[in-house]
Chains A and B, each alone.
Chain A
């Protein structure tokens, strides 16, 4: 038995390895099962349902009438307001993410340095994150009201303006103030991610750079920044998705503006649903939205390769 078992041992070993793979998958299923189910139920199923809805004709009351193939997509792509909306979305995402990351890099650097009261300042930075976005935005919205807003009141009192200006009543200024609010609420997460990245930078590398005679800027650009790559990658990616899909800020800040001059894809989807009552069209727009996010993420992963060297 022992003599015959020896030659077959090698293949058996390989086989056993494969079967343990299977076995380990099976034995891990009860552990990951609930999570998988959850993902199926709250991610895969709604997404599938959304895609299904986008190919249907649905009455304004919500009754599913019939399949229309890709007609809904033809309708949304021939919509004359779509280019402006996509442009707005692009401007919105790029400006918010770019400014947020730049400010957060500076802020993280500042919070990395020891100084008296640092813990307090670090905690203060979390506040916009801890507060509800709707609440924060509403505070800004009322502050910017032309008749009784505190910001307008302040600008009038210090003589910058003669009377209150409707910041949130015109497309361009409303987008601009929305960008500011979005930056305000995105900074805490970004700063903390970058701060964690900074703390992982070994001091030896900084000392070595100093020994080699690198100045502060050179140390930062060539030593610190490359080591922040994964932290930057995470914060940029999450921010892009988050900002792209942001509804509450824009809904509150630009919601009262007539027409679609201040709409991003997200608020437009909402308007199509709320005012036009077109569930089918808004589903098609959501599919478009989803596809754009996927493409952005894919391009990002391909070019920045954030997962290498992690």
Chain B
């Protein structure tokens, strides 16, 4: 009796242990793309670029649905931190979204999950994209993604803090940025330079610095993040951190809160986005700041460019026609430019660029775009590299040597390329 009781207890504990162990298994397979009575329902999964993103898409969808009564679009909005996990869960549960807005696409294309661009947009729409962006959407010669937005980084500087610290010139080179940040850190109560190497966007900050030394993350064939130029840049970043000219704990600092500190006027320099301009206008219009090109090693212009894309998971291909309707509608000049300019991004279409060429807030960023270095998103190992940067790059701030950190990231990229 005693024995069986104990066995029962063991079994019970085992069951409890299992229950409490998170297995991360999702087994439900809801019908997502059922066509009922001639109506097609499209699942749409998008990330948030700003607090207004959801409302903006809802507006587009409402207008689209008013014109196309046979198509219904279910919108799901996720944060950038979660969206790829959500997508992965959906893919495993056979619930791939018909419309997806994301960063990387090559690994999905490599597995044959995506519909080619010609299936989901008319030739006129495809021809309207600027060739540089359209080329970045190709995997093995076929275009899959439709470039949605472009963005570049620029150096935001706080003029009041510079004056207080006696810095007169806006830094153009690494050394100037170092000296100016050091002056602000020492002579004012604020920190000099904001370096966000936390897992929100460590890869972005890193590539800005790598680009400033003529480096990059590799290309479509090979990820290379530990080249001599890259290493030199990483070592300079480490020097900034070790000499205390950045904020505390850069390895665990996320970009959004760091930029908030800049907006509050408590940070000398930070790399910001076109949206940062609008954010400052809304939250602290009195901030005395300026925007300048990225500081590079020699002063040669270079920056990080980002392009995100819309894509469609083809599944059984039944929804492609409806997706085509939507994309053709969305990329029409009026709808598209309204979307892009409300979000504060740079357009990727020819017609959109013409419409927005007079925008003053976008000018410093548009000017930098020709010298932008992009992520190697067409490399199927990019997603893993991206993850490795997010989880490991911050270690240069915790005493690990820059070489070890870059080698570790390279090792993860190589493991994913196999």
Judge whether B17 and A169 touch: CB under 8 Å: no
Chain A residue contacts of B199, Cβ below 8 A: 255-256, 258, 275
Q: Which of A44, A61, A170, A256 contacts B88 (CB 8 A)?
A: A61
Q: Is B414 located at the chain interface by the 8 A CB criterion? A: no
B397 to chain A: which residues have CB within 8 Å?
258
Q: Is A136 an interface residue (CB 8 A)?
A: no
Q: Is the CB of B108 within 8 A of A238?
A: no
Contact yes or no, B387 A166, CB < 8 A: no
Q: Which chain A residue has the least Cβ–Cβ distance from B394?
A: A258
Pairwise interchain contact B394-A61, C-beta atoms closer than 8 A:
no
Binds B, one of A45-53, A176-184, A201-209: A45-53
Question: Which stretch, A84-92, A114-122, A287-295, touches the partner chain B?
Answer: A287-295
The answer to whether A259 and B20 touch across the interface, beta carbons within 8 angstroms, is: no
Chain A residues with CB below 8 A from B254, complex form: 256
Residues of A within 8 A of B55 (CB): none
The contact string, 1 if C-beta is below 8 Å from chain B, for chain A 160-171, is 000000101111
**B6–A307 CB distance below 8 A:** yes
B398 close to A (CB within 8 Å) = yes
Contact B18 A290 (CB under 8 A): yes
Closest to B400 in A: A259
Q: Which residues on A sit within 8 Å (CB–CB) of B390?
A: 275
Please choose the segment from A8-16, A124-132, A214-222, A241-249 that sits at the chain B interface, where 4 or more of its residues have CB less than 8 A away.
A241-249
Q: Which residue of B lies closest to A289 (CB)?
A: B21
Most chain B Cβ neighbours within 10 Å, of A237, A258, A271, A301: A258
Q: Could you tell me the distance in whole angstroms from the C-beta of B24 to the nearest C-beta in chain A?
A: 7
> Which chain B residues (3-38) contact chain A, with CB distance < 8 Å?
5-6, 9-10, 13-25, 27
Taking CB atoms, residues of chain B closer than 8 Å to A242 are: 20
> Once the chains bind, are B249 and A169 in contact (CB under 8 Å)?
yes
Q: Residue A276 at the B interface, CB < 8 A?
A: yes
Chain B: minimal CB distance from A77 (Å): 16
Within 8 Å by CB of B9, from A47, A255, A276, A307, lies: A307
Could you tell me if A147 and B261 are in contact, using CB atoms closer than 8 angstroms?
yes
Given the complex, which residues of B lie within 8 Å of A255, measured CB to CB? Answer: 199
Q: Would you call A237 and B5 a contact (CB within 8 A)?
A: no
Asked if A61 contacts B107 (CB within 8 A), the reply is: yes
In the assembled complex, the Cα of A305 lies from the Cα of B6 at a distance in Å of 8
Pick from B14, B19, B27, B198: contact of A297, CB under 8 Å = B14
Known: A256-B252, A294-B17, A298-B10. A60 touches B416 (CB 8 A): yes
Let me know if B349 is at the binding interface, CB within 8 A.
no
Query: Is B284 an interface residue when CB atoms closer than 8 A count as contact?
Result: no
Q: Which residue of B lies closest to A145 (CB)?
A: B257
Q: How far is the CB of B340 from chain A (nearest CB, A)?
A: 29
Bound-state Cα–Cα, A154 to B180, Å: 32
Query: What separation, in Å, do the CA atoms of A307 and B6 have in the docked complex?
Result: 7
Q: A166-B248, A256-B199, A290-B18 are in contact. List 13 more A-B contacts (CB 8 A).
A: A43-B19, A50-B25, A61-B91, A237-B13, A245-B17, A245-B20, A247-B22, A256-B254, A259-B398, A275-B199, A276-B387, A276-B388, A298-B10
**10 A–B contacts from the bound complex (CB under 8 Å):** A46-B25, A62-B92, A169-B249, A245-B22, A258-B392, A258-B397, A275-B199, A275-B388, A282-B24, A297-B10
